[in-house]
Structure 1
Amino acid sequence: MTTANAETTQPHSFSNTPYSPSVAPDVAGELAKEARMGDMGQETHAREVRCIDLSDFEHRKREIADELWSAAVDIGFFQVSHHGIALQDIRDAFARAEAFFALPADTKAQWPLSRNAGWEHKSQIRPSTRTPDQKESYQITRPRMQGLWPTDAELPGFQQASLAFERQCWEVAMRLLSCFAYKLGFDEGFFTRAHNPEVPSYQSTLRMLHYFAVDPALKDELGLWRAGAHTDFDCLTLLFQRPGQGGLQVLPGKEMEGRQWTPVEPAEGVITCNIGDMLTRWSDDVLPSNFHRVRNPLPHEYQGARYSLAFFAQANEDAVIEGPGRKYPPITGAEYLRQRISANFSNRY
């Protein structure tokens, strides 16, 4: 959930390969805003992150689309229930993530992150904080996983089960995006074609995240963040959280100047969703991609490890991003992502 990168901390490549394209004006502006988001600000409960019931989706689709649109325009975040992914499947996905992160570091290092696929450890440095996020992650991007899967000897059934869960997340994301396509005046299969998982240009990503338990010696260190303030690069982020492992906060645009952060409380079986930068551009800036972060727990809160699962519906590399009003020139998904990664991971901060 700029990054996922839905806490939704968005997946990125941390390759050292140089790339320095000219940064588009909307990208440069977003980067400048992010660089000002490193202070603590204040927490407020005055805003509502709405939970939208997706049951009987095909018969209620127009009603659901109106509810999603209203929540997205208002705050850029919403939650969904009755989405079709069984609670046990979500619990099993969390268990797989815990098993993966429990592997020795030298074992995980066999699968280093490259082009949004593989494992990284404290590699993400936000322009908002200029310090590494206190986490590790493992990212699954279907066409880029060669040599990056644990074997069945290391984690039995991990690959097959993870891909099955990724597919479930994709299906939910496409249902939600079909509602936004309808509201934007596109045909309802528009975003499904732009996120086609059957082709090599697919770049949507399932990200497993492990935020480290707080070191007692550092519990009063204000400069550390589990995930610094950012926006997500993708179209739509789906985030699974565990009850009792909070910290996610969103900063709606209307509260930006006052730094009024709204907490997004975890609820088992509910998916937290947010609009990403790609969809903001595709909507000619009607749908906001708002800043969010994961703060360290306060002294009276649970200090242990935090796990989350994020799915980033990120347009295929060859998809052309252009809004109905053509506010911005067309750009491919590949070029847009390169510009955002270059702006955020160029070690200029």
Structure 2
Amino acid sequence: MADRLVPAISLKDFDQRREEITTQLIHAAEYAGFFTLVDHGISKEEIEAQFAISKKFFDLPVETKAKVPHDPKTNNGWEYKAQLRPSTGTYDQKESLWLQRDSQWPSDEDIPRFRDTTSEFMRKCAEVSDQVLSCFAITLGFDKDYFQVANDPTKPDCLTQLRLIHYPASEDAVGTWRAGSHTDIGCLTLLFQRDGEDGLEICPGRESHSSFASSDIFTPLPAETGPIVVNIGDMLMAWSDDRLKSNFHRVRAKDVGKSPSRYSIAYFNQGRRDFVLQGPKEIYPPISVGEWFAQAVARSFSRQTAVA
């Protein structure tokens, strides 16, 4: 079933196949809101190297990881079981390291070449994102590089982040949420997974970015090293006048037995703070990316309070 819901789309010979690739991307984005990319230009070896350096960070003693503390104002830094989900009323069972180009990074003394390796990985994620977003831009009636400009990570007001994630192994997590059901606030998410570390489940069917209605039917999406799982965020759903779907997803523990460690890496295209977003049909009023995030966080907080 997951194969039907989440198609694999090849970016091979992108410039020559742009029209064909665009058709495939739009079809997936209008229905599932998810797709996987292959032949995307980031080698399996590069992905494995980034996972290896991520694991080195999470294997460090707590006091060493805490040298890069989470800052609530910027949402950068290391956090441990700190994300409360309105959908479950509990904290996600994971730790993560949020990074931006100019945020605080782990030192080379603690992890040699961490910043050089990870910065290059982020650069390649931006290239893949630009290809996908250019297809969406043309289809929606914007200039080809519209979303590239709006999400340019080299600009000081860009909110795009890389998140290294570790779900610790658990003996007693059967049937529980390692990450509760949610949608992504930003524009476009690239997710990297490792072979055999399953748990991601998706739920298509959302019609409006302002609605939190969700089906109770979730479909597992097996983890594999190499393909990139891509999903639409709430921001891009609004930017497309709800044409492209930002759908709910979660990470669920195994129904039987021990849940092993799971590592994932997410690249969140989140736009430039001062860039104004509005769909081509102008169904929704214009709003800056910064205001969008402020309202999204406030909305999430109010839902958390309701759940609590």
Return the TM-score normalized by structure 2.
0.93
Report how many residues are paired. Answer: 298
Alpha-carbon separation, structure 2, partners of 1:305 and 1:156: 23
Residue number in structure 2 paired with 1:13: none
Mapped to 1, the partners of 2:56 and 2:228 lie a distance apart of: 22
> How far apart, CA to CA, are the structure 1 residues paired with 2:215 and 2:166?
30
Tell me which amino acid in the other structure corresponds to 1:262.
T
Which runs of structure 2 are paired with 1:275-314 in the superposition (5 Å)? 275-300=232-257, 303-314=259-270
Residue 225 of structure 1 corresponds to which residue in structure 2? Answer: 177
Cα 1:232–1:179 change in 2 (3 A) is same
Q: Select which of 189, 194, 198 maps to 1:246.
A: 198
CA distance in 2, matches of 1:206, 1:184: 27
Structure 1 residue aligned with 2:25 = 68
Q: Note the residue ranges of structure 2 that are not aligned, 5 or more in a row.
A: 208-212
Instruction: Give the percent of matched residue pairs that are identical in Structure 1 and Structure 2.
Output: 45
Off by >3 Å, runs of 4+ in structure 1 = 44-47, 254-258
SS in 2 for 1:226: strand
Residue matched to 1:141: 100
> 1:177 and 1:254, CA in 2 relative to 1: closer, same or farther beyond 3 A?
closer
Task: Give the drift of 1:46.
Answer: 8.4
Mapped to 2, the partners of 1:206 and 1:234 lie a distance apart of: 12
Deviation at 1:235, TM superposition (A): 0.9
The separation in 1 between residues aligned to 2:293 and 2:256, in whole angstroms, is: 37
- Taking the aligned partners of 2:115 and 2:271, their CA distance within structure 1 comes to 23
Correspondent of 1:100 among 45, 51, 57 = 57
Aligned AA for 2:281? G
Aligned mates of 1:305, 1:102 — CA distance in 2: 12
Which residue of structure 1 lines up, in the alignment, with residue 120 of structure 2?
A: 164
Scaled by the length of structure 1, the TM-score of the pair is 0.82
CA RMSD of aligned residues (A): 1.7
1:260 and 1:207 map into 2 onto residues whose CA distance is 27
Contact 1:47-1:262 within 8 A present in 2 as well:
no
Counterpart CA distance in 2 for 1:305 and 1:323 is 40
Q: The residue matched to 1:260 in structure 2 has which SS?
A: coil
Distance apart, 1:257 and its partner CA: 6.1
* Structure 1: gaps spanning 5 or more residues: 1-43
- What secondary structure does 2:152 align onto? coil
Picking from 109, 112, 116, the partner of 1:153 is 109
* Structure 2 CA distance for partners of 1:196 and 1:46, relative to 1, 3 Å: closer
Report if aligned partners of 1:280, 1:286 keep a CA contact under 8 Å in 2: yes
Deviation at 1:258, TM superposition (A): 4.9
- AA matched with 1:172: V
